[in-house]
């Protein structure tokens, strides 16, 4: 859309929207979930989860910025989040944030393993909240995939050895994530327990830093997912083998984090809902796990896929992961987020209105255009003024050039 037309239609107003008479998007609140939805759902209907209300169903998917020193947030993180809060998203989930220094993917990843990290994050969350978006954070441990150079380093994705500021990666099982990579170390039981505590401590710090939604990263082959999938977990103790043993780390982490955060704080988990390979983690496993974490007070499953196997035949295309969000939502009776190549407003709206997910998460499309939510509003509800920050709105209304 041409920029002027965008501004004019964003402000011109009148209401015609895409509100549907169908009630397909309504969510029946699961027993112990904190979500309440009233009325019919569409991309711009608010969503109440425990004590938090999202102004719409559009979330920024967590995306590593690889731009921290010693885990600290800085001006880049402020600008990145500020732009997308002003752009109209309902929820911003900050990138995979290391719960320990070794839980980072690269030495440049964001971290929250010490109290000193809190003030700089607080600046980000204060601004995001002031502009109507809800600040969320993804708490993460990189596991076997840790200690790599950031993608825009000349040694892109290569191992960073300890003598160059890296570390020896750890996992449920000591297996190389890819050939030629470092040989990781298997976590001891004591270290697993310490990692659970580190998640809980990081969650407490997140609350102190002003985050209102906590997401646990159990996807993409990182530590949490590595415990779940038989492709990466060959343990023979209580944390490996059967499904019940492989979900133990997940359940212990969820319990510890839920106990560490206020009752009215929403808790999300990101799963790789399938490994896309035989003998891997499946949609059925994800549904079983979703039912278990729902009982422990998780409110929403953010449904990504893949990451455990480099050779998985992933049918990448628009909506390719949405069926997983729809399946988990239907079968586990828990709210879900859909992510992956959601780029068009009508596409995103249909996912919500059809009841396939409760929120959509946009990654690269929000990098391309922080104002995508406003653009979507203009496209879907051209006769209603889009909510725009007052600093811009007055100028767009009152200036004629
Ligand atoms: C630059 C970049 C960084 C990412 N970092 C993370 C991350 O920190 N945590 C995560 O769970 N997914 C991460 N992802 C995956 C996205 O959250 C998202 O699931 C994926 O990009 C698919 O959505 P999209 O098609 O809208 O981009 C990242 C993706 C990109 C492009």
Q: Compute the Cα dihedral for 363, 111, 152, 128 and give only its sign.
A: positive
Any idea which residue has 């099982």 for tokens? Answer: 173
Q: Give the C-alpha separation, 373 to 366, whole Å.
A: 9
The answer, yes or no, to whether any atom of ligand 1 lies below 6 A from the CB of 95, is yes
Ordered by start, the domain boundaries in the chain are 17-381
Q: Residue length, the chain?
A: 401
159 has catalytic annotation: no
Is the CB of residue 71 less than 8 Å from the CB of residue 112? Answer: yes
The answer, yes or no, to whether any atom of ligand 1 lies below 6 A from the CB of 302, is no
> Cα separations (Å) of 215 from 159, 169, 391?
27, 22, 31
Token readout for 119 is 């003030």
By C-alpha distance, which of 99, 20, 104 is closest to 65?
104
Q: Residue 391: which residues within 8 A CB-CB, separation 6 or more?
A: none
**Alpha carbon 115 to chain centroid distance?**
23
Q: Which of 66, 131, 177, 222 is catalytic?
A: 222
Rg (CA), the chain: 21
Q: Residue 169: which residues within 8 A CB-CB, separation 6 or more?
A: 102, 142, 143, 144, 145, 146, 147, 177, 182, 184, 185
Q: What is the pLDDT along the chain (401 residues), one digit of tens a residue?
A: 333 333 333 322 221 222 222 233 233 333 345 666 555 789 999 999 999 999 999 999 999 999 999 999 999 999 999 999 999 999 999 999 999 999 999 999 999 999 999 999 999 999 999 999 999 999 999 999 999 999 999 999 999 999 999 999 999 999 998 887 899 999 999 999 999 999 999 999 999 999 999 999 999 999 999 999 999 999 999 999 999 999 999 999 999 999 999 999 999 999 999 999 999 999 999 999 999 999 999 999 999 999 998 888 999 999 999 999 999 999 999 999 999 999 999 999 999 999 999 999 999 999 999 999 999 999 999 888 888 999 998 888 777 66
By C-alpha distance, which of 303, 362, 361, 360 is closest to 331?
303
Neighbouring CB atoms inside 10 A of 70's CB total: 12
CA of 216 to the centre of ligand 1 (A): 14
Q: What is the CATH number of domain 17-381?
A: 3.20.20.70
Collapsed DSSP state (helix, strand, coil) of residue 303? strand
Any idea which residue has 């000349």 for tokens? Answer: 154
Q: Give the C-alpha separation, 311 to 306, whole Å.
A: 10
Question: 59, 60, 62, 143: which to mutate for ligand 1, most atoms within 8 A of CB?
Answer: 62
Question: 59, 63, 98, 315: which to mutate for ligand 1, most atoms within 8 A of CB?
Answer: 63
């Amino acid at each position: 859309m041409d920029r002027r037309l965008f501004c004019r239609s964003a402000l011109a107003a009148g209401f015609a929207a895409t509100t549907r008479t169908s009630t397909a998007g309504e969510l029946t609140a699961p027993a112990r979930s904190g979500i309440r939805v009233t009325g019919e759902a569409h991309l711009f209907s608010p969503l109440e989860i425990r004590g938090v209300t999202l102004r719409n169903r559009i979330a920024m998917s967590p995306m590593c910025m690889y731009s921290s020193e010693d885990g600290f947030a800085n001006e880049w993180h402020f600008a990145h989040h500020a732009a997308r809060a002003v752009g109209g998203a309902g929820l911003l989930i900050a990138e995979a944030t290391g719960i320990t220094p070794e839980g980072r993917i690269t030495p440049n990843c964001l971290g929250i393993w010490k109290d000193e990290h809190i003030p700089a994050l607080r600046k980000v969350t204060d601004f995001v909240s002031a502009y109507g978006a809800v600040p969320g954070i993804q708490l993460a441990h990189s596991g076997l995939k840790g200690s790599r150079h950031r993608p825009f380093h000349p040694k892109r994705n290569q191992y960073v050895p300890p003598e160059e500021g890296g570390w020896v990666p750890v996992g449920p099982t000591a297996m190389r994530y890819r050939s030629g990579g470092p040989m990781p170390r298997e976590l001891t039981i004591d270290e697993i327990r310490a990692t659970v505590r580190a998640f809980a401590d990081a969650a407490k710090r997140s609350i102190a830093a002003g985050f209102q939604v906590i997401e646990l990263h159990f996807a993409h082959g990182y530590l949490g997912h590595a415990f779940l999938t038989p492709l990466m977990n060959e343990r023979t103790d209580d944390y490996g083998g059967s499904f019940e043993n492989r979900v133990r780390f997940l359940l212990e982490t969820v319990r510890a984090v839920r106990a560490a955060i206020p009752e009215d704080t929403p808790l999300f988990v990101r799963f790789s809902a399938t490994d896309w390979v035989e003998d891997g983690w499946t949609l059925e496993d994800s549904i079983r796990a979703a039912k278990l974490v729902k009982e422990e007070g998780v409110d929403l499953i953010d449904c990504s896929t893949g990451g455990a196997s480099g050779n998985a035949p992933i049918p990448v295309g628009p909506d390719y992961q949405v069926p997983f969000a729809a399946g988990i939502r239907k079968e586990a009776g828990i709210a879900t987020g859909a992510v992956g190549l959601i780029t068009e407003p009508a596409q995103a709206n249909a996912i919500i209105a059809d009841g396939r997910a409760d929120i959509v998460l946009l990654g690269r499309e929000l990098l391309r255009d922080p104002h995508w939510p406003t653009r979507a509003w203009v496209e879907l509800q051209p006769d209603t003024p889009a909510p725009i920050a007052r600093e811009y709105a007055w100028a767009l209304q009152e200036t004629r050039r």
